[in-house]
Amino acid sequence: MALFGKNKKYTLVNVKKKNIPEGIWTKCPDCGNPTYTKELNKLLKVCPQCGFHHGMTAVERVELLLDPGTFKEFDKNMQSTDPLEFKGPKTYKQKIGSDQKATGLLDAVITGQGKLKGHDVVLAVTDSSFIMGSMGSVVGEKITRAVEAATKKKVPVIIISGSGGGARMYEGIFSLMQMAKTCAALARHSGAGHLHVSVLTNPTMAGIMASFAGIGDIIMAEPRALIGFTGPRVIEQTIRQKLPEGFQRSEFLLAHGLIDMIVQRRDMKDRLAGIIEYSG
């Protein structure tokens, strides 16, 4: 009788949905698969499904490459002013302040000296989370000083670039001047017979790629990094042609001779040490 009797009335109970805290999972921008963030960090932020190399902070890259306890930072307290008194949806000072608070950095680059598998090196690393790793006066000055220190110490300089912003528009011509200044310092470094290794990460674009990032004695890149001057969509709209598959990615640039090698993040330290040893 219970099976065919009168339908019972049921009361709907509101069940509170448990909110999953942000940051527990990280979605891969390439394949779309989520990865437990703690596991992704153990994998050096490389997607276990497709091998996509997620972005790393400048501090994480210093820790990845240099021997523990050997890093001594240069010009730690240098930070940008506002020479043009730039105004927009946010003023330049407001943008700097918000990114300083978000990243813990004073500007978009960390420079210093340390040891890489026992080899003395000078290292500069841009951070794309600070105004897209763009180069203003402070970034240019810190990189120039780092290169000059490497020249004086007669040691290799390694510059790891990750900038989607290129030269920083907030500073106008002051930013563009840094392209020539950094290249001049590297020319003197090379003229003195010392090594410059440029490491390109995703993305390395515009004024960064058109200056110090593109003139290494050895240029290596992480897999599938976007590298170029103008982005592919802008190029397609300008020339009104469909670009080749994989255009401006590391693999395309290696095949066309713009870079020397593609190196997995887990192998980067060993490969850099081998290059330093080989160069003598």
CB 66, CB 116: distance < 8 Å = yes
Domain boundaries for CATH 3.90.226.10 within the chain: 56-279
3 state DSSP class of 66: coil
Place of tokens 């790793």: 133
Which pTM does this prediction carry?
A: 0.85
Burial environment of residue 148 by CB neighbours within 10 A (0 to 12, 13 to 18, 19 or more):
middle
What is the rounded CA–CA span in Å between residue 72 and residue 114? 6
DSSP state of 227: B
Quick one: pLDDT at residue 229?
86
pLDDT at 232 over 90: no
Based on its alpha-carbon atoms, the radius of gyration of the chain, rounded to whole angstroms, reads 23
Percent of the chain with pLDDT over 70: 92
pLDDT at 157 over 90: yes
Quick one: pLDDT at residue 1?
47
Options 3.30.420.40, 3.40.1160.10, 3.90.226.10, 3.30.420.10; CATH for 56-279 is 3.90.226.10
* Measured CA angle at 263 (ends 259, 265), to 5 deg: 135
